[in-house]
Chain A
């Protein structure tokens, strides 16, 4: 029997997937760049938070802020020093470079942290729960993840549609050459976009790292879920990405309830089903 608890669990899992996917969706929307290293960059952020909290003994919240700044700067530098050189009309070079980056990060993490599974420690927060009526209770950590995803999408929407930087993002995405005529420096806009994408990845890393174990090899699998969330939601739509993550989370949880072996399979099947009915996703951006 698929009850309300399953649905709630699925929606909450969807929040984590949406956070995975947001950074990917953002970069694709602005730069038409598919970042194959996105999953590994999330892991890198998770390990950085792990190091900062365990080695330096800083509280998780402070560590998060610190790593957000570090990853923003890393993203900015990554774009200016590496990705910028391969962006162009040909989509293959950036794919190859981010694929290579994915391998470099995986092996780098393996070298520094080893292959053991790790987990972020959040103390009592990990197991705390909110009790609802009817014998239902919701884990505080997954609930926070979903709320964080909603706040993150709302903030990014605010930046996109209410600020001068957001207009510059959209204009550059429409037509980079004409955007230059407006005084917009395309290089800085792209670098800021990658920086924001990696900053958001830190939030994804924290919510994921508290919820489950991670080791250096799991990046690509997370990337696949992120891709599916972006495609289900429709390319170029951030709210769509959130919905896409929730659809994926729901499908996996319901599938697992029917038969524990079907969890991952049913996520992929939901993805294929959406593609068959709505090839451009649920909320494609209006732009042709």
Chain B
């Protein structure tokens, strides 16, 4: 099946795979290598059965390559430097500014209405990318592992050697930040009642 047509079909998803790898690795060269390995594996194997979409299948291969890359990186002596800064990202005090002393909303969420139209627009997905890229590195990595690679929480904890509690805090952070980013940049002005 490794013909030119299949190769070009696979190549359509290269940009997506690269974005996803970059968000998890925060190392453009490494992300490039990992995507290259993914594409080579996709072309050399006979694994694509057509049961899932090509994109989903490629993402599955990428997942293993990314996890391998993270493992390798964590064994390096300078791992602390490249994967550091986690403690700072575990601090959720900054989101507490959204709430008053008793934990009530200071700036209540806006009504996003029926988002179906938005979700089908290419610009909305570009905005998602923009918001994902604004996340702190570890936060983006964990969120992508969870929501795009669809790894189980205990797998993520094991690979990144973090506790379940840390994981929940990081994912909470990610969702709060994405929510805020989308509200400010996409949904603002759609009848915000304040």
Partners in one complex: no
Interface residues of B (CB under 8 A from A): none
Interface residues of A (CB under 8 A from B): none
